Amino acid sequence: MFAIRTIRPVVVNTTQSVGCQNRNYATLKEIQLRLKSVNSIAKITKSMKMIASTKMNRAQRAMEVARTFGSTQTAFFTHADTKQTEDGNTLVITVSSDRGLCGGIHSSVSKFSRKIIEGKPDSQVVVLGDKAKAQLSRSIRENIKLSFNQIGKSIPTYNEASSIADVVLKEKLDFDQATIVYNYFKSVISYEAQTIPAFSDDVLENLQEFAFANSIYWGLVEGHAAEMASKRSAMENATKNAGEMIEKLTMTYNRGRQAAITNELGKKGCDFPI
């Protein structure tokens, strides 16, 4: 007699495979959504970079004109042997804007202004722009006497500078000398906080008012050019970082998709009878 052997069918546990497969699909879906989100961000930052580049070119042209007038004025008072008083009351005018997304452009003038106040605690402060006002209010709120906003939307004009100077002078702030803190435009990737002295003239009051407004205008326009350059660099870096993230996510997605396909083929291969 022949022995009858019973061949037991091999039972494959597909529950774990299906669960793993579903997790793979879920992960791939998440990566797809994240890729879509990062791509959208990259498009926005790239557009903002192009806009900032256009504004920076215009701002540079206006800055060259303002710098010429400002430097000529400073040279005039220097040759006239006009000097600031060392022991008089000081008015610090901090030039910033209302807009962000431009690196440390506002922190630069805020830190420089605080440094001046540390040396002269009784100095009065006038802030141009909400960004620097928020930063300075944390430490020297009591020194801030005036503030202006709606600054930085476009290239500053001399009329705006004259209006600011007029308000400051009409407020009858008691000061013997004024120091304007602004960001000096060094290059498209570099700026530095510097000061512009506002000289006084006891004989020619009109000349004093004109020089005061002209110095404010110089600081506004130069600071605006530095801000646009900083914003362009910030958007360029953001676009670059988004591009690197897209590459990593794409690579991760492709690897996950390949693994899911391999698992699917392996599962189908087990269904064929031997």
What's the pLDDT band for 25 if we cut at 50, 70, 90?
low
Better pLDDT: 125 or 78: 125
Using the predicted structure, report yes or no on whether residue 178 has a pLDDT greater than 80.
Answer: yes
CA distances (Å), origin 23, targets 16, 28, 246, 247, 260: 11, 9, 22, 22, 10
CA dist 167 and 235 (Å) reads 35
Q: Which 8-state DSSP code applies to residue 171?
A: T
Name the domain count of the chain: 1
The backbone torsions φ and ψ at residue 38, rounded to the nearest 5 degrees and listed phi first, read -65, -35
What's the pLDDT band for 4 if we cut at 50, 70, 90?
very low
pLDDT tens readout for residues 210-264: 889 999 999 999 999 998 888 888 888 889 999 999 898 888 888 888 877 777 7
| Domain annotation covers residue 156 | yes
pLDDT score at 10: 43
pLDDT score at 132: 92
What's the pLDDT band for 2 if we cut at 50, 70, 90?
very low
Mean pLDDT, rounded, for 191-197:
91
| Domain annotation covers residue 227 | yes
| Domain annotation covers residue 21 | no
What's the pLDDT band for 8 if we cut at 50, 70, 90?
very low
pLDDT tens readout for residues 67-108: 888 888 888 877 777 766 667 788 999 999 888 767 788 999
CA dist 124 and 134 (Å) reads 16
| Domain annotation covers residue 13 | no
The backbone torsions φ and ψ at residue 181, rounded to the nearest 5 degrees and listed phi first, read -100, 120
| Domain annotation covers residue 36 | no
| Domain annotation covers residue 219 | yes
pLDDT score at 181: 96
Residue indicated by tokens 């774990």:
16
pLDDT score at 271: 53
| Domain annotation covers residue 85 | yes
Mean pLDDT, rounded, for 140-145:
93
CATH code (residue 116) = 3.40.1380.10
- Beta-strand pair 177-187/90-95: parallel
pLDDT score at 218: 93
| Domain annotation covers residue 160 | yes
- Beta-strand pair 190-198/177-187: antiparallel
Domain range for 195 is: 47-232
Helix or strand or coil: residue 13?
A: coil
Using the predicted structure, report yes or no on whether residue 125 has a pLDDT greater than 80.
Answer: yes
